[in-house]
């Protein structure tokens, strides 16, 4: 039956592309995806597959019960976009100013919808039950996965699988891990309050820019000199805002950034060391500060058994030349909440477009659309493999 399913997915590829490109033109930001959610529910309504809407927010859960007994397995796709202006010169460019599918979630949705359409045709012979899990708000903490888990709709699910179309991984390559796969992404904001004044009289001021610059430099010492060299962490300052004129010494600086980590003990150590450094630098310059640290998603940890199921499934998918285990990446994913509650695995489906090397979250981001049926085939093959375990 799997060969017939794969063949049908190939036949539905043009429709898969049409859906992806339509969604690409009409993106919606995290927690605002009402029209996208309605598009998904209308699709399941037309298919005659039962669904629940507004799950944990804008989430949509559709359930296809097969004609034969078996396990209940969830397959997940996210559907929110990002606050980025689309700069691609393509017919399917975003029509929403300042909003763009710059991470491939439009493709995730298209492939899962086409997989649902395919499996409806094979429902009578299907073992077990497929849960088509369409999740909102992956891009912005607290995210959509946590409230979906807390809603209880997945309580009776045996396992969960998901994939990300990964634009920096070559087409035809699958990547996963049997342990930690993606980092925990946190956010922080530092405000330094000094004392402004005339640019020619620095001795009468407390320069927030020079103080903030020292904070930036000193924070990098945490990873290089405070952490065990065998541990992994990243501290990045993404915003540094201060001053409004060339001849005025700024009285206030605002620094915003992210911390990435793989272990909770490292997260706690980084938080503590950051506080000490910020406090110490500000004391030395007689300035005050505020430090707000926001914990994001936990690290995504795959279950070894389910990751092995994915690797086995990849061997049966045409178009995949390589299936490999890789070291963790420092991007984050709220799929982590699913594998904290249920056995499961997440994997990357290579979707690098030839001659197009823009990364995720870039204004010219795009994917190799031929990766979509490969992702769908791998998900459903993993589903069948899991039924046999």
Show the tokens assigned to 117: 């359409």
pLDDT at 193: 98
Helix (H, G, I), strand (E, B) or coil at 28: coil
Cβ burial 193-212 (10 Å sphere, 16+ → b, else e): ebbbbeeeeeeebbbbbbbb
Rounded-to-integer distance, Cα 219 and Cα 217, Å: 6
Please count the other Cβ atoms lying within 10 Å of the Cβ belonging to residue 353: 16
195 backbone dihedrals φ, ψ, rounded to 5°: -145, 115
pTM equals: 0.95
Q: Report helix angle 105-121 to 2-11, nearest 10.
A: 130
Catalytic residue among 33, 78, 86, 138: 138
What pLDDT, in 10s, does the model give residues 305-332?
A: 999 999 999 999 999 999 999 999 999 9
**Are 225 and 158 members of one domain?**
no
Active site includes 294? no
Same-domain check for residues 18 and 152: yes
- pLDDT tens, residue by residue, 369-379: 999 999 999 99
pLDDT the model gives residue 370: 98
Residue 73's nearest CA partner among 153, 149, 128 is 128
Q: Final residue of a domain: which of 267, 294, 321?
A: 294
Q: Are residues 37 and 53 in the same domain?
A: yes
Judgement on whether residues 101 and 177 belong to the same structural domain of the protein: yes
The binding site consists of: 103, 105, 139, 164, 361
Which pLDDT score, from 0 to 100, does residue 357 have? 87
Task: Give the residue numbers spanning the domain of 249.
Answer: 190-294
Instruction: Report the distance separating Cα 345 and Cα 305, nearest Å.
Output: 9
Q: How many domains does the chain have?
A: 2
> CATH number, domain at 254?
3.30.70.360
Answer yes or no: 138 catalytic.
Answer: yes
Q: Note the pLDDT of residue 168.
A: 97
The rounded Cα 280 to chain-centroid distance in angstroms is 35
Same domain, 278 and 202: yes
| Same domain as 306, residue 284 | no
* β-strands 127-135, 59-65 pairing: antiparallel
Domain stop point among 279, 294, 309:
294
**169/202 same-domain check:** no
User: Tokens 């975003």 belong to which residue?
Assistant: 94
Say if residue 175 is in the same domain as residue 52. yes
Cα–Cα distance for residue pair 256/204, rounded to 1 Å:
27
Give, rounded to a whole angstrom, the gap between the first and last alpha carbons of the chain: 18
Which of 276, 294, 312 is the last residue before a domain boundary? 294
Instruction: Please give the pLDDT value at position 389.
Output: 86
Statement to judge: residues 280 and 249 lie in one domain: yes
Which residue in the list 28, 78, 80, 273 is annotated as catalytic? Answer: 80
Helix residue ranges per DSSP H, 133-175? 145-151
The verdict on 371 and 347 lying in the same domain is yes
* pLDDT score of 291: 98
Task: Show binding-site residues for Mn(2+).
Answer: 103, 105, 139, 164, 361
Q: Give pLDDT tens digits along the chain (389 positions).
A: 999 999 999 999 999 999 999 999 999 999 999 999 999 999 999 999 999 999 999 999 999 999 999 999 999 999 999 999 999 999 999 999 999 999 999 999 999 999 999 999 999 999 999 999 999 999 999 999 999 999 999 999 999 999 999 999 999 999 999 999 999 999 999 999 999 999 999 999 999 999 999 999 999 999 999 999 999 999 999 999 999 999 999 999 999 999 999 999 999 999 999 999 999 999 999 999 999 999 999 999 999 999 999 999 999 999 999 999 999 999 999 999 999 999 999 999 999 999 998 999 999 999 999 999 999 999 999 999 999 98
Same domain, 234 and 319: no
- Nearest CA-CA partner of 109 in 168, 192, 185, 26: 26
Of 233, 197, 232, 237, the C-alpha closest to 215 is 237
The CATH number of residue 342's host domain is: 3.40.630.10
Alpha-carbon dihedral 381, 183, 169, 16, rounded to 10 degrees: 50
148 lies in the same domain as 243: no
Q: Which of 306, 314, 338 is nearest to 61 (CA)?
A: 338
């Amino acid at each position: 039956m799997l060969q017939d399913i794969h063949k049908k997915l190939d036949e539905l590829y043009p429709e898969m592309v049409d859906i992806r490109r339509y969604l690409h033109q009409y993106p919606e930001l995290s927690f605002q995806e009402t029209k996208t959610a309605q598009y998904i529910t209308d699709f399941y309504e037309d298919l005659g597959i039962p669904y629940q809407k507004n799950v944990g927010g804008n989430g949509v859960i559709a359930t296809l019960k097969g004609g034969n007994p078996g396990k209940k397995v969830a397959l997940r796709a996210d559907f929110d976009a990002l606050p980025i202006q689309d700069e691609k010169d393509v017919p399917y460019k975003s029509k929403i100013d300042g909003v763009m599918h710059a991470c491939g979630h439009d493709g995730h949705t298209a492939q899962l919808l086409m997989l649902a359409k395919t499996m409806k045709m094979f429902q009578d012979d299907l073992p077990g039950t497929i849960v088509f899990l369409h999740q909102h708000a992956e891009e912005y903490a607290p995210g959509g996965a946590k409230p979906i888990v807390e809603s209880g709709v997945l309580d009776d699910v045996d396992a969960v699988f998901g994939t990300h179309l990964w634009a920096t991984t070559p087409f035809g390559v699958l990547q996963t891990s049997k342990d930690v796969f993606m980092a925990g992404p946190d956010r922080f904001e530092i405000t330094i309050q000094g004392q402004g004044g005339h640019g020619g009289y620095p001795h009468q001021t407390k320069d927030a820019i020079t103080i903030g610059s020292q904070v930036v430099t000193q924070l990098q010492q945490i990873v290089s000199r405070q952490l065990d060299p065998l541990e992994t962490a990243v501290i990045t300052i993404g915003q540094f805002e201060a001053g409004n004129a060339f001849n005025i010494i700024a009285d206030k600086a605002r620094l915003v950034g992210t911390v990435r980590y793989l272990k909770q003990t490292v997260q706690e150590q980084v938080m503590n060391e950051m506080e000490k450094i910020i406090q110490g630098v500000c004391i030395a310059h007689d300035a005050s500060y505020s430090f707000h640290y926001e914990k994001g998603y936990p690290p995504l940890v795959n279950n070894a058994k389910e990751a092995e199921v994915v690797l086995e499934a990849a061997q049966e998918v045409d178009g995949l030349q390589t299936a490999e285990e890789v070291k963790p990446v420092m991007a984050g994913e709220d799929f982590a909440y699913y594998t904290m509650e249920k056995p499961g695995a997440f994997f990357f489906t290579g979707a690098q477009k030839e001659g197009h090397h823009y990364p995720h979250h870039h204004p010219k981001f795009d994917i190799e659309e031929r990766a979509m049926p490969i992702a769908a085939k791998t998900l459903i093959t993993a589903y069948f493999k899991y039924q046999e375990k």
